[in-house]
Amino acid sequence: MRYALILGVLFVATAANAQWEIQPAPTTADLRGIDNVGKGIAWASGSDGIVLRTIDDGAYWQLCTTPPDAEKLDFRGIQAFDEKTAIVMSTGKGSLSRLYKTTDACKTWDLIAKNPDKDGFWDAVQREGAFWGDDDPDSDERAVVLGDSVGGRQRVWEWKDGWGDQELEPMDMTEFKADVQEASFAASNSVLQVVKTPQIDRTWKYRFRWVSGTTQDAYIWIVREERTDTCEPCTVETKRIEMPLANDSPGAGTFSFGFSTDLVGVAVGGDYMKPDISTRTAACTSDAGYSWKISDTPPHGFRSAVAYDAAAKTWITVGPNGTDTSTDDGRNWRALRPNPALHEPADADREWNALSLPFVVGPHGRIGKLRPTALK
């Protein structure tokens, strides 16, 4: 439950204008989750049980019906399947961590799961359909939920539509031995990744990656499955690997990560209690996450989210004090737009919480959309 009340996440850049086009939102809640489905469809979530939806690429954001008994819940993660179907995850101790689902464009919601661990805490939720493939009839109705460790076991749950009311299936906990105080940051719903790539080689397919840590250490977990025609039973391999983003502070560690290819990835973080300190704020990998190197030129402070723009071949990371980009896969970062133009507000490109390109969300109902020319 490394529960970070952070302000920041912003991204991307030109030298003349703010990188985000601010969009009107029908709420002043702190927005914490955002998921862009594509084709103009995106969903957002936040404090006070707030869920928003757009079907016209952000021109209009609809204020959804609040899920039942969720008026005081903090929705840190949301995953959408289409314009009518989405699941939203709240964070909190024990049963305050919940999943709700809508199938009618957020007119109504069903409670589909509560955290069965009374001392547990959920941190992120991601769709799992890409792993199973389009030929699986249930591929669009699966999700993975990441929770903090309980009793020295990392808690990872799978949800599948049709299992029954409020049912979750735990992953094999015998493989997930964790430190007693190990936890993830429930900040931008980007500490968990379900693989979205084909089988990497003839033997293995990567299934999940997630990041966690303690006050002293930061880790990435890598779970991969044997995928051959002859394996029976097939092997699941789990590895926990140290990362160089912790610095002996309860507010420090890895807050977000992503992969641009099967092998190349970037992780960002730092200490949200000391947002202007640039030490250990980014690292990169070129071997699927099995080894990490601190960036030679780090971002200019704590960063809470990172994303890759494939068209521009650019990584973007954001935090409360600014935005940085990298064009060499995280080895070196440079600041973008350190000062707003005269006609722009001082926070035009700052103080965001979560992103799903091209959208970004933040405190007090802030929603932004990346300008098409931002990375050109």
Q: What is the CATH number of the domain that holds 36?
A: 2.130.10.10
- Is 335 inside any structural domain? yes
pLDDT tens-digit profile of 283-342? 999 999 999 999 999 999 999 999 999 999 999 888 888 888 899 999 999 987 655 555
Q: Is the residue at 12 inside a domain?
A: no
* Contact by Cβ (8 Å): 65, 107: yes
Q: Is residue 1 part of a domain?
A: no
Domain that holds residue 230: 20-370
Please report, for residues 67, 75, 89, 111, 197, the alpha-carbon distance to residue 187 in angstroms, rounded to integers and kept in the order given: 21, 11, 12, 22, 25
Distance CA 20, CA 262 (A): 29
Q: Is the peptide bond before 358 cis (omega within 30 degrees of 0)?
A: yes
Our count of domains for the chain comes to 1
Q: Convert the pLDDT of each residue in 332-352 to its tens digit.
A: 999 876 555 555 566 667 888
pLDDT reported for residue 134: 45
> How high is the pLDDT of residue 5?
47
pLDDT (0 to 100) of residue 230: 83
Domain-embedded: residue 375: no
Which pLDDT score, from 0 to 100, does residue 340 have?
A: 56
Q: Which residues of the chain have pLDDT under 50?
A: 5-16, 132, 134-139
End-to-end C-alpha distance for the chain, whole angstroms: 39
- Name the maximum alpha-carbon separation found in the chain: 65
CB atoms near residue 296 (< 10 Å): 12
The answer to whether position 59 is within a domain reads yes
For residue 80, the SS3 value is: strand
Q: Which residue type sits at 49? A: G
Specify if 7 maps to a domain: no
Q: Where are the beta strands (DSSP E) in 116-251?
A: 122-127, 142-150, 153-160, 169-170, 192-194, 204-213, 218-226, 236-243
Q: What is the pTM of this model?
A: 0.88
Euclidean distance between CA atoms 302 and 279, whole angstroms = 9
State the amino acid at position 326 in one-letter form: S
Q: Report if residue 6 sits inside a domain.
A: no
Tell me what pLDDT residue 206 has. Answer: 72
Nearest to 375 by CA among 341, 344, 336, 347: 336
- pLDDT score, position 320: 85
Let me know: does 194 contact 131? Beta carbons within 8 Å: yes
Q: What pLDDT was estimated at residue 8?
A: 39
> Which pLDDT score is estimated for 83?
96
Could you tell me if residue 14 is inside a domain?
no
**DSSP label of 225:** E
pLDDT of residue 6: 43
Strand, coil or helix: 129: helix
Residue 114 in 3-state DSSP?
strand
Handedness of CA 71, 255, 9, 127 (dihedral sign): negative
